[in-house]
A and B are shown apart, each in its own frame.
Chain A
Amino acid sequence: MLIKIAKPSDLRESDVTPEPVYFSRRRFMGGVVGVGAGLGISLALAGRAQAAASDYQDVPAGNPPGWFDAKLKEAEWDSVVPADRQLDKLTPFDDATHYNNFYEFGTGKSDPARNADSLKTQPWSVVIDGEVNNGGRFDLEDIAKPSRLQERIYRLRCVEAWSMVIPWLGIPLGDVIKRAEPTSKAKYVKFETLVAPDQMPGQDSSFALIDWPYTEGLRMDEAMHPLAILGLGMYGRELPNQNGAPFRLIVPWKYGFKSIKSIVRISLVEEQPVNSWQAIAPDEYGFYANVNPEVDHPRWSQATERRLPNSLFNPNIIDTRMFNGYADEVASLYQGMDLRKNF
């Protein structure tokens, strides 16, 4: 029999973050360069503090709220970058914003770019509820305010076996969860996307298999992992609507569908949530959805991926890496678990 003793102040899972990499602001300020190439991640801290969007010259300016602009000025650029920036070259902005899976705006890859203009992202509020002491409805600005914006250049591996490299701007998910003061019962974090058929035409389709709202979840220790962030921007600007504006999840070691977009609700819960894709096809999509070249999707191999953009003459097929190349950072979360069963 398992006896659980509730501890009032408890952040047990979250406190246990013996992560090899912890991207603290202090370390950034101190200018420690690199945590080791073996980690597959390096902290490049060269003088980019003033760089802002000028690094992304072909990127069209957005229309961000004032508070985002203010945060952008103090962003921590290149906070996490790929070890090999030649191999993991940035995907052009145009491709990252015109090849999206965001079924709220249609099931075609180009539908979101075409339809997402109708999404109203300002003002935006998010409900934080469930097993928390400090819940409620918060303006996005207030959720973001206490944390410094960090640039994270992550590989994005879609479950459909294509991948990109995206420079996100976000805040650690763990920061937001800590501020909500989870109770000892909080074992999982559940996320929900906006439901607004008047703004999201895909939600109007009677053929859609997704039972809106789109729902995702993480185990508490996954959510507290320093690599997991809540995204507010990309390519030195705020998120375009089709990429999940104004507020989305990014979990780089999991398949893209875990990184839920346009979040309006974050609930800390005791039971493992059923994420949308798992609900549709439990034999094809699991709760964990960790990138794993050894566990195939029933309909296709996950051993390789097509790094986009590619061309007819070069399909750009590369080997998929365990945990999308973040194994050194996250493998310990899954020690002793059968990843074939918990796919």
Chain B
Amino acid sequence: MSMPRYTLTLWRIAVSIAALVPLAWWSSQVAINAAGPEPGKYLLLNIGQGILWMLLLTLSLTPLTKLTRWKGFNLIRRQLGLWTLAYALLHLFCYAVFILGLDLSRLGSEIVRRPYIIVGMLALTGLIIMGVTSNKWSMRKLGKRWKTLHKIVYLVLGLGLLHFLWVVRADLEQWSLYAAVGALLMILRLPPIARQLPKFRQRLKRPGRAHA
């Protein structure tokens, strides 16, 4: 599937805007006092879920490409990865400002003492490593090792889900949904299944033609 260059540019811009929409929505809810009596925590929790959304969307690009062969998905991979990092940094910012009241000594002690914070910080570290090596220069410099390095995204997904699991108090429904989607995306990467994806596309194509 090929598309004119400007369409792909528009596509990238549209994805950027879409990534900003949730932030704009949550901010507007806070602005009109619709976010409840603890707006900082509202932002913290929503942005936290936003990270998982971004991460899962990023991880869905490879299977989607295999399934559709559209290169548009590949073009937004770095962008979505960086959005994931941006959301994660915002999440940490909310925690430091709204929960710890910018008491940085407490940030230090909390990081050391709370397993779920440690796990969250490790996941963030993974995102930062991928973020700073996401440029062309790093790709050239690292060569083959670049791909290996960026496999830590799977580790980040695991750590992120664990972080969320330890935050959940009494209802696993939401967490289970994220974990299920994450597991599905991992399963689609297993070589025997990954090989089936392009074939699956061809099978879809034939009956699809009639409707096109």
Contact = CB atoms under 8 A, between A and B. Distances in A.
Interface of A: 91-92, 95, 98-99, 103, 107, 109-110, 162, 202, 205, 207-210, 280, 296, 298-301, 304, 306, 308-312, 315, 317
B111 to A, nearest CB: 12
Contact of B169 (A107, A110, A298, A311): A107
Chain B, interface SS category? helix
Contacts, number: 72
B149 interface: no
A309 B41 CA distance: 11
Q: Which of B36, B37, B41, B173: most chain A Cβ within 10 A?
A: B37
B114 A300 contact: yes
A162 B41 CA distance: 10
Contacts of B37: 91-92, 95, 98-99, 308-310
B110 A209 contact: no
A207 B176 contact: yes
B38 A306 contact: yes
Given A103-B171, A298-B114, 20 more contacts: A91-B37, A92-B37, A103-B170, A107-B171, A162-B41, A207-B172, A208-B170, A209-B169, A209-B171, A299-B115, A299-B166, A300-B110, A301-B106, A306-B38, A309-B38, A311-B39, A312-B43, A312-B97, A312-B98, A315-B101
A316 B170 CA distance: 27
B169 A312 contact: no
Nearest to B106: A301
A40 to B, nearest CB: 24
Contact of B38 (A107, A162, A202, A301): A162
B11 interface: no
B30 interface: yes
B171 A207 contact: yes
Contact of B36 (A99, A107, A205, A210): A99
B178 interface: no
B131 interface: no
B171 A205 contact: yes
B171 to A, nearest CB: 4
Contacts of B146: none
Q: Which of A98, A304, A308, A312: most chain B Cβ within 10 A?
A: A312
A69 to B, nearest CB: 29
A301 B110 contact: yes
A177 B5 CA distance: 78
A308 B167 CA distance: 21
B99 interface: yes
B63 interface: no
A209 B172 contact: yes
